[in-house]
Structure 1
């Protein structure tokens, strides 16, 4: 009996180390709970769970604070309560793999955070789970190879992005290849320079002549320009 009493007291003490030093704060708007989180009793610094709620009362966001800094798993939920996303936090910054989900439960997007910015391959999926697109990310911007797929899973476009300081989106750069989603044949080739693209080859037509001064400048000195001149 004494051993059981000691055990229960030990469990109570362990729980109290956490709960007895924190309190729950509930935020309401028009009688509806919109936020609920834990803070340290003495300092009011956030420490413990943090939840935001949808209008229907279901949890919208759930993560954990550790002495004022976000840390650990973050969960995002659709309004119907189904999981919308899983992300990892470390010392207040996103770090590691993340996954977003369609309301039906299939994966919508997967990627990786490094020191709070997306880095590496970012892949998106159709609602049935078929791969839609993969692009290389650096500092939250597309930079590097990309591939795009039709809903039947066939590759329809591939190429590469570059980024210019200050731009929020990557710019197509280099050769771009476009394919037919049914026959899988190459339909067209384009050469791009920091977002400006020129068609250089089309199925049934072969190599094309530059039709603008910008395209002529982009093509100058390339293999495709030599092919065009050779066909004249």
Structure 2
């Protein structure tokens, strides 16, 4: 994406009107579609954050975190150009950690 691209914030609601997704996006170079670029946040219907991370040119990139509806961590890991990399950690609703997954193996 060009640095002078205009950034736009999109909000997608649940049927109830609560925000389901909020993310930054830019218009593609050919101006035919929107491309996610920047912060992405998904929300549970109760308003707590469900997932957060960054997009770069339409692909997940960097640290991502998922949360249970009560706000406790559910998963944490990294993306590089849309692919999971490294060790991802997972937690149950009660806070106990599940075995992780190493995407570098």
- TM value normalised by structure 2: 0.81
CA distance in 2, matches of 1:32, 1:69: 25
Aligned position for 1:34: 20
Higher helix proportion (structure 1 or 2): 1
The 1-side partners of 2:80 and 2:9 are apart by 23
The answer for the alignment partner of 1:137 in structure 2 is none
Listed as ranges, the gaps of 5+ residues in structure 1 are: 1-16, 120-232
User: In 1, Cα distance between the equivalents of 2:44 and 2:35?
Assistant: 24
Unmatched 5+ residue regions in structure 2?
29-33
Which position in structure 2 is the counterpart of 1:103? 93
Report if the CA contact (8 A) 2:14-2:45 is conserved.
no
- Residue of 49, 61, 72 corresponding to 2:39: 49
Deviation at 1:101, TM superposition (A): 1.4
2:8 pairs, out of 12, 23, 27, with 23
Which residue does the alignment assign to 1:82? 72
Equivalent-residue separation in structure 1 for 2:59 and 2:20 (angstroms): 21
Max radius of gyration: which structure? Answer: 1
Alpha carbons of structure 1 residues 103 and 29: separation in structure 2 relative to 1, 3 Å: closer
Q: CA RMSD in A?
A: 1.9
Task: Map 1:1-232; keep pairs closer than 5 Å.
Answer: 21-30=6-15, 31-40=17-26, 42-43=27-28, 44-114=34-104, 119=105
Please state which structure has a larger fraction of its residues in strand. 2
**Distance across 1 between alignment mates of 2:84 and 2:96:** 23
In structure 2, how many angstroms separate the alpha carbons of the residues matched to 1:74 and 1:39?
Answer: 17
Q: For this pair of structures, how many residues does the alignment match?
A: 97
The higher relative CO (CA closer than 8 Å, separation ≥ 6) is in 2
Q: Give, in whole Å, the separation in 2 of the partners of 1:111 and 1:88.
A: 11
Deviations 1:103-139 (A, max 9, x none): 343322222013xxxx3xxxxxxxxxxxxxxxxxxxx
